[in-house]
Amino acid sequence: MQGPSYNQLLIERLGTSGDLMLLNMGPQHPSTHGVINFLIQTDGEVMRKAVPQVGFLHRGIEKIAELVQYPQFMPYTDRVDYLAAMTANEGYALAVEKLLGLEVPARARYLRAIAAELNRIASHLVGVGSNASDIGAFTPFVHALREREAINDLIEALCGARLTYNYARIGGVAFDLPDGWADRLRRFLDHFEPFLDEFDRLISYNKIFIERLADVATISADEAIAWGLCGPSLRGSGVAFDCRRDVAYGAYPDFKFEVIVGKGWQGTLGDAFDRYYVRVLEMMESCKILRQALDKLPEGEVMAKVPRRIKPEPGEAMARVESARGELAYYVVSDGTEKPYRVRIRTGSFMAMGIIEPKSEGLMIADLVALIASFDVVAPEIDR
């Protein structure tokens, strides 16, 4: 006999009593940031519980990793998080480089950091812009997309792609900087840093926007740690952990930057506004890193000498990078062949799903949109 469906199990778990209703938000919904469903138990406009239902976008990407050679999996890592593909590339490369005992040239480490920080700004622009759009303010999203397009132009000049970059390589990066590219980036930074002040005036200090986010779905530091939150969602609760500083991979030990944490700017420490505003301030820190990287950029090769046939000795390696949605970890197991025996990917968006159910109790249905947006989730990171 065929067992009950996942949806039926969720309905049984939530139960029905009195005037409570069961509603579906999704799986196609503009505010879920991808194909995700939330099964909501509600008493009128007030939620008793919202349970994430994931799996609609599962592609078996970790299984694919076992079926292709080590370098051939690099384009697939772009699809782990299409909004921050540079760090998804770099994390996988770092894990394989550990297996090989490979030293990456200094210039390549700097170019990875430059690419990753540009991509972080582009991703955060989508995150903060869509956060405003989700709760009814469309204009800030248009301004954010305009700036992101300028970044896309820079990245396209660097690697030929605007979304799925495939820029990192095992041992370095695919391309060096084009002529004049560094000056283009400096001009963009000169324009973008004042834009962040304009963006604050446009939406961050908007009275209605603040009222929609302040004191909504407050997450304490202990709760954030217990539920495995990471990145801006963790730092928004006041926990100062950042892989760039605390794991110190690549070129990041050479840079000075501040780890931004929530401070209860407009309400309670760890509320939805703190998670939003951490991302705004992180874009300014990325600008600082980019300027330092350009000033200190070393000469030399952009690729190490890598064996033509990559066959690491049997063993295992783990690499952790700070993606736009937090810690992105790759665990790679080698059995001595040209293909990984196992690849496991840990992502920030999946970890954020767990805390939505306990934090949804007592919220208005409209506040669920604000809660999801404050985590800046992206569906491919949830399902993989």
Q: What pLDDT, in 10s, does the model give residues 117-139?
A: 999 999 999 999 999 999 989 99
Q: What is the mean pLDDT of the chain?
A: 93
Q: Give tens-digit pLDDT for 175-210.
A: 999 999 999 999 999 999 999 999 999 999 999 999
Under 8 Å between Cβ of 71 and 89: no
Q: Give tens-digit pLDDT for 241-272.
A: 999 999 989 999 999 999 999 999 999 999 99
- Of all residues in the chain, what percent carry a pLDDT higher than 90? 83
DSSP 112-130: HHHHHHHHHHHHHHHHHHH
Q: For tokens 């090769």, what's the residue?
A: 301
Q: What is the pLDDT of residue 56?
A: 87
Domains and CATH numbers, the chain: 6-53 (no CATH), 61-383 (1.10.645.10)
Q: What is the pLDDT of residue 16?
A: 54
Under 8 Å between Cβ of 227 and 220: no
Q: What is the pLDDT of residue 83?
A: 93
Strands in 326-334's sheet, in edge-to-edge order, are 315-323, 326-334, 342-346
Sign of the alpha-carbon dihedral angle for 263, 268, 273, 275: positive
Q: What is the pTM of this model?
A: 0.94
Q: Give average pLDDT by consecutive 10-residue segment, the chain, 384 residues.
A: 57 64 84 85 91 89 96 95 94 97 97 97 96 92 96 96 95 96 97 96 95 96 96 96 95 96 95 97 98 97 94 96 96 96 95 92 92 91 86
Using a 10 angstrom Cβ sphere, with 0-12 exposed, 13-18 middle and 19 or more buried, the burial of residue 229 is buried
